[in-house]
Amino acid sequence: MNQVRKSPRQNHKLAEHLLSSLTTAVIVLDKNLRVTRLNSAAEDLLHVSAGSVIASPLTNLLLRAEDLVKSLHQAIENTQPFTARNVQLQLPESTVENVDLTVSNLETPKGLLLELHATSRINSISQGSLSEEQQITTRSLIRGLAHEVKNPLGGIRGAAQLLERALPTEDLKEYTNIIISESDRLRDLVDRMLGPWQPMQLTPINLIEIIERVMQILQGEFVTNLQWSRDYDPSLPEVHGNQDQLIQAILNVARNACEALHGTERARITFKTRVVRQFTIGAVRHKQVMHLSIIDNGPGVPEDLIERIFFPMISGRPEGSGLGLSISQNIIGQHGGALQVASRPGHTVFSVYLPFSQPNQPTP
């Protein structure tokens, strides 16, 4: 039988189709480690588009990757493929992905083919069942703590009202108004914790307004030379959530960052909002989610604490209760989201991932 030969153009299209259909992330590099091709899975993993990175150096995609770049240069020079397990990739948007990496040599033209299998998202799924146990323990602790918190709140509110009447100028009343409104918010929060369980009432929320509220609270609480930085994407749509609970969750994380900066020169906290596409939370794959990064330049989370930081009663400070981050994880989890941390000395990032819509609502 006569075989029909395919033209080079047809072969090229077939190769492109096969590459794009792979679920494994694939990146092709030339001998100078510039990106010549990447498939859809790699775009999802690295949160980039192919058009924006083709012909760019690999170091534009991966930050602080000196060791990996050195290994890739050696692979080209020695024509020696290699495999590396659980490699941590620091992406430009303060996102961290852990991958298993396989590097193969290409002869014509000379270069490398990188295959990346994401392990961080697999770990997130496997941690889901563990976080459920943590949340059950956390809820029991919260209910016990709520009993102890409710009575002092009334005293704090009453004292703030008396103080407000004695203040000589109106501009000082801004601070007593914060005390009174926060006392009311916490009282309502405690009442919900002590009352019967009810489905959370979710409404469209502007996350930037919540962040600004958290910043206002902390600026009054930490009156040091702490610098605050905003890096917002103003085009992001609203998320569906409970405003009071999200304020509490983000406040706990940001307050933890403020406390970690004690003694740090030029201490800075940055709030950054972005969209992350094709992101898995638990066992649910979302087309896009809100990514809030709370970044500080403190000493970092100790290595022996990083794996247990969201467990109840675990704290890196002698005076800490060990409940703040655990409560935040519980609240974010009830919103269908995830709370993660990546840390090294001088750069700690707490990442809050929130879906733009709940499962029974249309995705924007």
Q: Which part of the chain is CATH 3.30.565.10?
A: 122-355
Q: In the predicted model, what is the mean pLDDT of the chain?
A: 79
What 8-state DSSP symbol labels residue 236?
P
The residue-averaged pLDDT of 209-219 equals 92
Q: Which one-letter amino acid corresponds to residue 262?
A: H
**What Å distances lie between residue 140 and 113, 264, 294, 340, CA to CA?**
51, 35, 28, 22
The residue-averaged pLDDT of 279-299 equals 85
Interval 219-232: pLDDT, tens: 888 867 789 999 99
With DSSP H G I counted as helix, E B as strand and the rest as coil, what are the percentages for the chain, rounded to 5? 45, 25, 30
Candidates 240, 230, 349; CA nearest to 290 is 240
The residue-averaged pLDDT of 189-204 equals 67
pLDDT of residue 358: 57
Side-by-side strand order, sheet with 82-90:
35-38, 25-30, 111-118, 96-106, 82-90
Q: Is residue 321 predicted with pLDDT exceeding 60? A: no
Q: Is residue 360 predicted with pLDDT exceeding 80? A: no
Q: Which part of the chain is CATH 3.30.450.20?
A: 10-118
Q: Is residue 292 predicted with pLDDT exceeding 90? A: yes
Class of domain 10-118: alpha beta
Interval 243-258: pLDDT, tens: 988 999 999 999 989 9
Give CA–CA dist 364/341, Å, rounded.
27
307: pLDDT confidence band, cut at 50, 70 and 90? Answer: confident
Question: Which residues are bridge partners to 288 per DSSP?
Answer: 277
Is the pTM higher than 0.75? no
The residue-averaged pLDDT of 313-317 equals 54
Candidates 219, 216, 156; CA nearest to 186 is 156
The residue-averaged pLDDT of 275-292 equals 82
Q: Is residue 94 predicted with pLDDT exceeding 70? A: no
Give CA–CA dist 247/269, Å, rounded.
17
Top-confidence residue, 263 or 335: 335
128: pLDDT confidence band, cut at 50, 70 and 90? Answer: very low
Top-confidence residue, 137 or 64: 64
- Percentage of the chain beyond pLDDT 70 is 76
Q: Is residue 120 predicted with pLDDT exceeding 70? A: no
Q: Is residue 271 predicted with pLDDT exceeding 90? A: yes
Top-confidence residue, 147 or 91: 91
pLDDT of residue 34: 93
Class of domain 122-355: alpha beta
pLDDT of residue 11: 53
pLDDT of residue 142: 65
